[in-house]
Amino acid sequence: MIWQTTRHAIDLARPRVMGIVNVTPDSFADGGAHATATQALAHCERLVREGADILDIGGESSRPGALPVSVADELARVLPVLRGALTLGVPVSVDTCKPEVMRAALALGADIVNDILALQAPGALDAVASHPTCGVCLMHMRGVPGSMQGDVRYGDVVAEVTAFLAARAKALRDRAVDARRIVLDPGIGFGKLAGHNLELLRRQRELLAPGYPLLVGWSRKSTLGVLTGKAVGDRLAASIAAALAAVDNGAAIVRVHDVAETVDALEVWRAARDNDASTDAVHEPPPYP
């Protein structure tokens, strides 16, 4: 399966790792760590060295309770980093729900629009549909980050998320957007309790029914804290376990903070699952006595 984007046709025959680049002062996991363009671009370069297949640049926090930022502020945060990231040889995604930011990013050459509102904002659908080739990720969330945890009642969370995402994909297909450009995200932690998130993971293959690849983001999420009792900064092992579980249940892309560790874990998962005899390293002796 291929994910068609502006500059790259991403082969999803093997799981892909999307590295998170938050150009924000208030993201839940790393707020402020990469808040300047120089810091964020250095982080992009590091993630590519660590094996990131895709970079995802965001200039507005989507943590629970986050306040919105202006279009001008988001553009000022994102565009300088995007310009540099586009030279690094990997697909670059822009995490935004603002059509003005989408258009500006696509005009610079961004490969993917990653929208937590699934293109529901006025003008967002037009911004993506009018572009000839960009990729798009449509995510499920109720409300907006500031209020999304206020309505977390579901009859069947998997059925409701699947139906919503299928409808949003159809809205794009009705605008003649090629299906190969579309990826879906169930929105782990967005307007959902821990039990909902775990149900989505256990029954994740049902989310494949609409026929699109899945992008899943478990990295450092609060449900992992509920399960382990660990603070955000101590959820590396849990994040890797969740990423592997997501891939094992059919996810094509995992969105993560800890790229190097996730890449290594996926290499072991692939070797155990596929017994890839073409990998010379598995037939070589270890580099120690």
144 CB-near residues (< 8 Å, 6+ apart): 68, 117
Partnered with residue 3 across adjacent β-strands are: 10
168, 255, 270, 273: which one is catalytic?
Answer: 255
Please state, in angstroms and rounded to a whole number, the distance separating the CA atoms of residues 227 and 235.
10
- Quick one: pLDDT at residue 27? 53
77, 181, 220, 221: which one is catalytic?
Answer: 221
Residues of the chain with pLDDT under 50: 28, 277
> What is the model's pTM?
0.92
- Quick one: pLDDT at residue 26? 52
Q: Does residue 16 contact residue 252 with C-beta atoms inside 8 Å? A: yes
For tokens 């003008």, the residue is 123
* Domain boundaries of the chain, sorted by first residue: 2-283
For tokens 């969370």, the residue is 157
Please state, in angstroms and rounded to a whole number, the distance separating the CA atoms of residues 59 and 81.
10
Asked if 255 is an active-site residue, the reply is yes
Domain 2-283, CATH: 3.20.20.20
- Quick one: pLDDT at residue 9? 98
257 CB-near residues (< 8 Å, 6+ apart): 19, 20, 29, 30, 219, 220, 239
